[in-house]
Amino acid sequence: MTWYRWDGDDLVLDLRVQPKASRDRLVGPHGEDAFKVTLTAPPVDGKANAHLVRFLAKAFGVPRARVVLESGQAGRRKRVRIVAPGKLPLSL
């Protein structure tokens, strides 16, 4: 699978984000090159991106400052860097 890679101590994820879902959840692999995440936040004024950062920070046991949205700010496909994750969610 090519939706994640380690860059030193950092974990880089290629995500497919679905906003306005019924709940926040790490769904699973979406094809060969992305991991699907659903969020309850709407895709308006950066709310979904901010919600994604908070959600991933909690899931990986890191402060929000250690979740970096590297690309995809305006689309559903995003690349996110988790700087030295404290834990790995069971669904990964």
Give pLDDT tens digits along the chain (92 positions). 689 999 999 999 999 999 999 999 999 999 889 999 999 999 999 999 999 999 999 999 999 999 999 999 999 999 999 999 999 987 66
pTM of the model: 0.92
Whose structure tokens read 């906003």? Answer: 19
Helix (H) or strand (E) holding 56: helix 47-60
In a domain, 11, yes or no: yes
Smallest Cα–Cα separation from 3: which of 79, 88, 91, 83?
Answer: 79
In a domain, 82, yes or no: no
C-alpha span between 33 and 44 (Å, rounded): 26
The pLDDT value given to residue 81: 98
* Domain that residue 11 falls in: 4-76
Amino acid code (one letter) for 23? R
Using DSSP bridges, classify how beta strands 35-38 and 10-18 pair: parallel, antiparallel or unpaired: parallel
Query: What's 59's domain CATH number?
Result: 3.30.1200.10
In a domain, 16, yes or no: yes
The pLDDT value given to residue 89: 87
Count: domains in the chain: 1
